[in-house]
Structure 1
């Protein structure tokens, strides 16, 4: 179980073969790595499933290999085959996927993990324990600003400005996936953690995904700011895994307003700063003490969102999905109205 979608296995993967399974998207959400938050956002799961399926099918049209195998319409029976998104009459909440092996990643203490053990168990059919991050812009507060100067990213600037900056070329970075606190990696460290999967191939795949998402966003009036992919390695082939190009995995904006989970993140920063600070302090304490579970050190819990905020966020996900896909999947306000309401939160 992840914080926003359930994971079900229909056929287990083996050392040599991919298995079959499905994601069941829920209306849960998570910010600041907290896990399940106190509230659920109506129709969020259907929005993410619909938008993810739309993007996977676009990637297939561009010959980008993925683990996507279709979606299940509402009311599908256990033995039914998945279908394309286009064949659905209602927004789906279940996605069919190929499965790979995900071994345990032993924690050694002092922020050290045993990746050798992970790969010894994984062989050549495994989920690569990295997130491959791609960035088209550098917003204010981006962690990328702390890892380099503007000149290092091709910008003719003496220092980082207060406002967001468009990058001349997309930047690709690598971070951990299964560690309790994600961290960005040097290329040599990322190469070691990737196992037999070539880092250059992962970068090329991320750039190909980014290009497809950028093109679609521009067609529909969005700006695709940044995002990530996860990948599996099977018998010499790297495939995009997890879910791609949704308002949870990626940051999109419309008319200068964020249309993503960032809206909720920023709302909590403004209205519940004590909890946000407590999360940061707990993560720091966990690093200092060399323990994996920082949540056990956090002395506060997040407050619930007001009903009007939940409604505005739900409308933003639904209206954004309608606008991005070009289909009226949800009974939702026009994207311009939903964006204007989110701007006032």
Structure 2
């Protein structure tokens, strides 16, 4: 179980076959890698399920393999168009996820792949970026000229990249870190890092085009993939307001809204997280949360309402269907803009 969705196994994967199971999307949310926060956002889970399903169906139609089998409605597996109520379950193929042994912050990927064989979840996140907002970690890892931008220094505003940038980060380490291409190729195991980049670029293109049709701007996102029978398949969930960042008329429409709200209203907690992560690195401690001295506080009711409308109205626009009973996208944007 992750912090925002539950994982159900129906038929486990074996060394030479995929299993079957489902994601059950909850209304919980997580920011700053904290895990489950004190509040729930009503209908958030169903909106993520619907957006993820729409993206998987579009990827499959374009010949990009995924682990998606359909959404679950009334106990039956169907395409998204085949359900009348917002779905909360997504049927998926399952691969194997071995334990990743570690001693403090040292992780044994050789052991992971020895246990995984040729049917496994690739222990990487593949990140794609179309813009570089203020505060992006990309700014600390390179100069604008390295990404095709004609700036001497990073400007104090979000900038669009001339070409998408693809990066790799760890998936199962307690504190994720960005990787060199050589290290990413090692961690990927049998899967080829060039093929992973190609898949990520195709997913980015598809999500960007879908967002544009809905009047949204797709800024960045990530994918996870499995490797089976010599093939890379897109896994987890793709192109939602939690996995990706979108905007509408300059206003963020993603989990970033909640991140920024916490930065403004609970700075002591955000600062404590930063300090805990730094201390964990210094002391070679894997789980930084045990070092964090401050806990997050619940959200005001009007913030929860605005977040609910952001997720549901945004999902309606993205999938091109009034699946959720909610305000218009313009009204939802106005509500989060005023937080």
TM-score (structure 1 length as normaliser) = 0.98
Please give the secondary structure, in 2, of the residue aligned with 1:264: helix
Query: Equivalent residue for 1:25?
Result: 25
Identify unmatched segments of 5+ residues in structure 2: none
Alpha-carbon offset, residue 293 of structure 1:
1.1
Alpha-carbon offset, residue 343 of structure 1:
0.3
Please give the secondary structure, in 1, of the residue aligned with 2:78: coil
CA distance in 2, matches of 1:300, 1:329: 39
Alpha-carbon offset, residue 235 of structure 1:
1.4
Query: Equivalent residue for 2:67?
Result: 67
Identify unmatched segments of 5+ residues in structure 1: none
Query: Equivalent residue for 1:51?
Result: 51
Please give the secondary structure, in 2, of the residue aligned with 1:10: strand
Residues 17-51 of structure 1 deviation map (CA, whole Å, 9 limit, x = unaligned): 00001000000000000000000000000000011
CA distance in 1, matches of 2:60, 2:183: 31
Please give the secondary structure, in 1, of the residue aligned with 2:198: helix
Residues 70-99 of structure 1 deviation map (CA, whole Å, 9 limit, x = unaligned): 0101x42xxx4x111100011100000000
CA distance in 1, matches of 2:122, 2:116: 10
Aligned 1:254-265 pairs, distance under 5 A: 254-265=248-259
Query: Equivalent residue for 2:93?
Result: 98
Query: Equivalent residue for 2:266?
Result: 272
TM-score (structure 2 length as normaliser) = 0.99
Residues paired across the two proteins, number: 339
Alpha-carbon offset, residue 112 of structure 1:
1.1
Query: Equivalent residue for 1:141?
Result: 135
Residues 206-259 of structure 1 deviation map (CA, whole Å, 9 limit, x = unaligned): 000000011111111000000000000001000000000000000000111000
Residues 263-284 of structure 1 deviation map (CA, whole Å, 9 limit, x = unaligned): 0000000000000000111111
Aligned 1:1-345 pairs, distance under 5 A: 1-73=1-73, 75-76=74-75, 80=76, 82-109=77-104, 111-345=105-339
CA distance in 1, matches of 2:302, 2:214: 27
Alpha-carbon offset, residue 156 of structure 1:
1.0
Which 4+ residue blocks in structure 1 deviate beyond 4 angstroms? Answer: none
Alpha-carbon offset, residue 305 of structure 1:
0.2
Please give the secondary structure, in 1, of the residue aligned with 2:84: coil
Please give the secondary structure, in 1, of the residue aligned with 2:165: strand
Please give the secondary structure, in 2, of the residue aligned with 1:40: coil
CA distance in 2, matches of 1:340, 1:180: 36
